[in-house]
Amino acid sequence: MNEFIKKSVQSLSAYVPGEQPFGAEVIKLNTNENPYPPSPCVAEVLARAATESLRLYPDPTSRGVREVVAQLHRCEPEQVIVGNGSDEILALCIRAFVERGGGSVGYFDPSYSLYPVLCAIEEVETRPVELGPDFEWAMPDSYAASLFFITSPNAPTGIQYPKPVIEKFCKTFPGVVVMDEAYVDFAREDAIDLATTLDRVLVTRTLSKSYSLAGIRLGYAVGPRPLIEALNKIKDIYNVDRLAQEIARAALSDPEYMRGISDRIKATREHTANALRKRGFTVFPSEANFLWVKPPGIGAQELFETLRSGGIIVRHFPGLRTGDYLRISIGSDVEMDRLLQAIDQIGMHHL
Ligand SMILES: Cc1ncc(COP(=O)(O)O)c(C=O)c1O
């Protein structure tokens, strides 16, 4: 223990990111990355990126990116904030909308495990809400908090909550609702209209998943102007670098490419889900680029370790609610076939 470090930081359980193996040849199905390259427009932008311009600071408001996002979602650029990944925007929301001492943050359990970490960093109270037995929406009557994160489709389950349920909650909840739509491009519907029509709802999106750009760290939020202005007041000044802004603008201007690779991932997802069900796995209906599964006749932790020793990395979240399951990111068809082959080999010994 170091007397110079704040008590809240000393006792903090930091976020545990999925493993990023360095240099090893593995099939990586643990952090919901995209198996396909980003839009060819990105390579063109990079080839053209004038090194001369890197002398200059980037636009502090990411104006060019906000304009493309505004066109995409039929809103004004002033209703958009761009962040260093959507993680930055989630942190800003807590800092802007939740009073330390009195304020509180709600989210479903299980959902994105970063939320409680951000709350601990900001030293604000958490009010998690337990999901139902099949990880479905379950909200107690008269529930209140200053801010609620709805992850839809949810991570790590892939389940998307019914839109009417979300809409009713947004209209009655007494605080700010942040809809974390990191995976929504793999889903049937989205809730961006709630952020452009209601006055206390924000939607966050990321280029890390469907746009295959986890490497540049770029996310954004859409919402009512007063809330976006509040977030702008407290963000780092130059929070998104010049190259990330250029690349994001190119990728967002080519939504057809994103839809093409997302369709491929959805087809692979359905094929893999059926193949796993045939092998006795419980597979939850996924609207994301991963599957939440319970293996038959073998513990999740044991299957995780066995796959890992064979060079296939999936994700296991220890814990009461999540420990019996694995989250498997959807890779290419070849990668998923390799996964199924590995499971069949393990099956001979265990199932
Ligand atoms: C639900 C959810 N929200 C946000 C993020 C973070 O996205 P970004 O890469 O834009 O910070 C993730 C990444 O895993 C996620 O699962």
Ligand 1 atom index nearest CA of 218: 10
Question: Is pLDDT above 90 for 343?
Answer: yes
Q: Is residue 2 part of a domain?
A: no
For residues 81 and 218, membership in a common domain is answered with yes
How far is the CA of 19 from the CAs of 66, 156, 168, 248, 312, in angstroms?
32, 16, 38, 25, 12
Give the residue among 98, 196, 203 at the shortest CA–CA distance from 150.
Answer: 203
Ligand 1 atom index nearest CA of 209: 9
How far is the CA of 45 from the CAs of 25, 65, 137, 244, 253, in angstroms?
29, 14, 42, 10, 12
By three-state DSSP, how is residue 125 classified?
Answer: strand
For residues 216 and 76, membership in a common domain is answered with yes
Q: Is residue 1 part of a domain?
A: no
pLDDT in tens, 111-137: 999 999 999 999 999 999 999 999 999
d(CA 8, CA 6): 5
For residues 171 and 95, membership in a common domain is answered with yes
The chain-wide mean pLDDT, for the chain, equals 95
Give the number of domains in the chain. Answer: 2
Which residues are CB-contacts of 328 (< 8 A; sequence separation ≥ 6)? 29, 272, 290, 291, 293, 314, 315, 339
- Candidate of 31, 89, 208 to mutate for ligand 1, largest count of ligand atoms within 8 Å of Cβ: 208
Beta-bridged to residue 147, according to DSSP, are: 105, 176
Query: 137 is written with which tokens?
Result: 């929406």
For residues 147 and 196, membership in a common domain is answered with yes
Last residue of one domain, picked from the residues 254, 272, 287: 254
> Can you give the pLDDT at residue 326?
98
d(CA 52, CA 54): 5
Q: What is the mean pLDDT of residues 48-72?
A: 91
Query: 233 is written with which tokens?
Result: 């007041």
Q: Is residue 73 part of a domain?
A: yes
Work out the number of other CB atoms within 10 angstroms of the CB of residue 322.
20
- Of all residues in the chain, the percent with pLDDT exceeding 90 is 88
- Candidate of 206, 210, 329, 330 to mutate for ligand 1, largest count of ligand atoms within 8 Å of Cβ: 206
Q: Is residue 286 part of a domain?
A: yes
- Of all residues in the chain, the percent with pLDDT exceeding 70 is 98
Question: Is pLDDT above 90 for 283?
Answer: yes
For residues 127 and 246, membership in a common domain is answered with yes
CATH of the domain at 295: 3.90.1150.10
For residues 180 and 91, membership in a common domain is answered with yes
Give the residue among 249, 336, 231 at the shortest CA–CA distance from 38.
Answer: 249
Question: Is pLDDT above 80 for 24?
Answer: no
d(CA 252, CA 303): 38
Q: Which residues line ligand 1 (CB under 6 A)?
A: 32, 85-87, 112, 151, 155, 180, 182, 206, 208, 214, 219
Question: Is pLDDT above 60 for 351?
Answer: no
Question: Is pLDDT above 80 for 23?
Answer: no
For residues 128 and 243, membership in a common domain is answered with yes
Last residue of one domain, picked from the residues 254, 270, 304: 254
Q: Is residue 282 part of a domain?
A: yes
Last residue of one domain, picked from the residues 204, 224, 254: 254
Report the separation in Å between the CA atom of 150 and the middle of ligand 1, taken as the mean of its atom positions. 13
Report the separation in Å between the CA atom of 179 and the middle of ligand 1, taken as the mean of its atom positions. 12
Question: Is pLDDT above 60 for 67?
Answer: yes
Question: Is pLDDT above 70 for 348?
Answer: no
Q: Is residue 121 part of a domain?
A: yes
Question: Is pLDDT above 60 for 349?
Answer: no
Report the separation in Å between the CA atom of 32 and the middle of ligand 1, taken as the mean of its atom positions. 9
Q: Is residue 332 part of a domain?
A: yes
Give the residue among 302, 286, 269 at the shortest CA–CA distance from 155.
Answer: 286
Report the separation in Å between the CA atom of 220 and the middle of ligand 1, taken as the mean of its atom positions. 11
Query: 218 is written with which tokens?
Result: 């770029």
Q: Is residue 123 part of a domain?
A: yes
Number of residues assigned to the chain: 351
Query: E strand or H helix at 309, and its extent?
Result: helix 300-309
For residues 240 and 139, membership in a common domain is answered with yes
For residues 131 and 33, membership in a common domain is answered with no
pLDDT in tens, 195-253: 999 999 999 999 999 999 999 999 999 999 999 999 999 999 999 999 999 999 999 99
- Prediction pTM value: 0.95
> Can you give the pLDDT at residue 1?
60
> Can you give the pLDDT at residue 3?
86
For residues 114 and 222, membership in a common domain is answered with yes
Report the separation in Å between the CA atom of 176 and the middle of ligand 1, taken as the mean of its atom positions. 19
Ligand 1 atom index nearest CA of 87: 11
For residues 297 and 207, membership in a common domain is answered with no
For residues 95 and 234, membership in a common domain is answered with yes
Domain range enclosing 12:
7-37+256-350
Query: E strand or H helix at 81, and its extent?
Result: strand 80-83
Query: What Rg value do the Cα atoms of the chain yield, rounded?
Result: 21
CATH of the domain at 155: 3.40.640.10
